[in-house]
Amino acid sequence: MTGVSQVLLLFLIGCALAVSITRNLLTSVIIYTCFSMVMCIIWITLESPDLAITEAAVGTGITSLLYFLTLKKIHAIDARNKAKMKRNETARDGGEGHE
Amino acid sequence: MSDRKSDLPGGRFVRWLNQDQDVLERQMIAAQNREPDSDEEMEEAWRRERFLEDQKEEEVVASRLEALNERKVPVIGRVVYMLGCMLICIAMIMLLLYTVTTLPGFGGEIDPAQNEVPRRYIEQGLQETGALNIVTGMILDYRAFDTLGESTVLFAAAMVVLFLLRLDPESNRYSTLAASIREEPYADTFYEPKNDSILQHTAKILTPVAFLLGIYVVLNGHLTPGGGFSGGAIVGAGLVLHVTAFGFEDIRRFFTYRTYQRTVVTALLTYAFSKTYSFYTGANGIESIIPLGMPGAILSGGLILLLNICVGFIVTCTVYVLYAVFRKGDV
């Protein structure tokens, strides 16, 4: 096992931890996409290009697309951000930010 | 900032830089606060009001969710919760790592996986299937029924999504909802840029490349890495990109719900019948009528090319339909 694939594997672990730790759903979907990209490179280093192509097309493209669409459908992208922005604004304007 | 200055374009830019108020937003608010003139506009205004109410309700729900996430929990409870979580996590990690250490080494010679089945595939695969790509030879010849099952599962998933999310325009119960969703101001896409030039130029360059690559991957599935599944996903991604940039009108001209059903059912039936025929005549080493062809040529590998095309059609249509149904409740 070369140094490059060790770095990639460490990156995978980091991504997996980050997906579960981040609170913003949009961020975790993007990190999950990064996970898939790195997984795709690892498949190539393991000499299975078929799996690499499928991982790139399905794991990175279709799965993240469906996640984004679901977040959009349940308004998890805009509504929470809007509420957060509004709260920050009121905290700034009122001058009594207790966060 | 004075009003006179804000009328100048530069003044606007400065305002925008200082984030006093979004200029576009102010124009939109001004357009919304206009007095309604005719009946149509009255109706429009009423609908807009309802839409704003919905939005407000959504914001209330979101802020409630925020409050729930940041509610005050007693310190002891939180510590116990954290400790329990960490304990369970560490126990699980240790268990999995212990299991991994007892597994045979990767690619070792005395693997349980190295039995007569993969040996047979590797040694006889090229002669028996005629496919240079051993993986495709495996999944579309030896184990073709598995792939048929996968395609059927995909079709079933798309059908379930259609049942759940489709808004039938002819149904009485949903017609008002469907109409109000499809009308512009209440659609999911209302606040998105309609003719985003960056997106459109990127799509102009990338869509043909994605189509070509996907079709290449499908047609060369038996020669090079890839196959119907990945190639179909690439073509589907190209379709989705085109639709995101240019709207659904182009595709809807030739692709409707009925087209989807017909295409996918035809592809599945072609797959099933050709594979049944192949098993009936040629499986288990009996002589087959279908020529295997010269390995390496595009027309080789017996039925694999046809099966790849079928799977490619199924996957492409399913990806597009999933996107369309999620997006606007109809194909």
Residue B168 falls inside a structural domain: yes
Q: What is the pTM of this model?
A: 0.72
B259 and B227 inside one domain: yes
CB atoms within 10 A of CB B187: 15
Contact of B61 with chain A, judged by CB distance below 8 Å, is answered with: yes
Closest CA to B268 of B214, B312, B320, B217: B312
B193: exposed, middle or buried (C-beta count within 10 Å: 0-12, 13-18, 19+)? exposed
Q: Say how many domains are in chain A.
A: 1
Tokens, residue B196:
């985003």
Contact of A16 with chain B, judged by CB distance below 8 Å, is answered with: no
B16 and B139 inside one domain: no
B19 and B161 inside one domain: no
In chain A, the residue whose alpha carbon lies closest to the alpha carbon of B69 is A23
Residue A46 falls inside a structural domain: yes
Residue A99 falls inside a structural domain: no
Strands (E), B246-312: none
Which residues of B are less than 8 Å from A69 in CB distance?
323, 326-327
Tokens, residue A21:
């730790």
Q: Which of A48, A56, A69 sits opposite B326 (nearest CB)?
A: A69
Closest CA to B106 of A32, A42, A13, A57: A42
- pLDDT on residue B94: 95
Contact of A84 with chain B, judged by CB distance below 8 Å, is answered with: yes
B83 and B56 inside one domain: no
Residue B124 falls inside a structural domain: no
Q: Which of B58, B61, B230 sits opposite A54 (nearest CB)?
A: B230
Residue A55 falls inside a structural domain: yes
Cα–Cα distance for residue pair B216/B280, rounded to 1 Å: 30
Those residues of chain A that have pLDDT short of 50 are 95-99
3-class SS at B145?
A: helix
Q: Which of B62, B65, B233 sits opposite A61 (nearest CB)?
A: B233
Looking at this protein, which amino acid is placed at residue B206?
Answer: L
Q: Say how many domains are in chain B.
A: 3
DSSP-assigned states of every residue in B217-229: HHHTTTTSS--HH
Which residues of B are less than 8 Å from A52 in CB distance?
225
Rounded to an integer, what is the distance from CA B304 to the centroid of its chain? 25
When scoring B21, B60, B63, B322 by the number of chain A Cβ atoms within 10 A, the one with the most, hence best to mutate, is B63
B12 and B91 inside one domain: no
Contact of B236 with chain A, judged by CB distance below 8 Å, is answered with: yes
Looking at this protein, which amino acid is placed at residue B115?
Answer: N
Contact of B125 with chain A, judged by CB distance below 8 Å, is answered with: no
B149 and B91 inside one domain: no
Rounded to an integer, what is the distance from CA B263 to the centroid of its chain? 18
Residue B116 falls inside a structural domain: no
Q: What is the pLDDT of residues A54-80, one digit of tens each?
A: 899 888 888 998 898 888 777 666 655
Which residues of B are less than 8 Å from A49 in CB distance?
225-226
B245 and B312 inside one domain: yes
Closest CA to B167 of B149, B189, B185, B183: B183
B50 and B153 inside one domain: no
Cα–Cα distance for residue pair B221/A41, rounded to 1 Å: 20
**pLDDT in single tens digits along all 331 residues of chain B:** 444 444 555 666 666 666 665 556 666 666 555 555 666 677 677 777 777 877 787 788 878 878 877 777 778 888 999 999 999 999 999 999 999 888 887 777 777 777 888 888 888 878 777 788 888 888 888 888 888 888 889 888 888 888 887 776 666 555 555 565 555 544 555 555 567 788 889 999 999 999 999 999 999 888 888 888 899 999 999 999 998 888 777 888 888 888 888 999 999 999 888 888 777 776 655 556 667 777 777 777 778 888 899 999 999 999 998 888 887 777 6
Which residues of A are less than 8 Å from B62 in CB distance?
75, 79-80, 82-83
- pLDDT on residue B179: 60
Contact of B322 with chain A, judged by CB distance below 8 Å, is answered with: yes
Residue B120 falls inside a structural domain: no
Chain A nearest CA to B7, separation (Å) = 26
Residue B274 falls inside a structural domain: yes
Domain that holds residue A39: 3-94
Chains A and B form CB pairs within 8 A to the count of 69
Domain that holds residue B139: 133-328
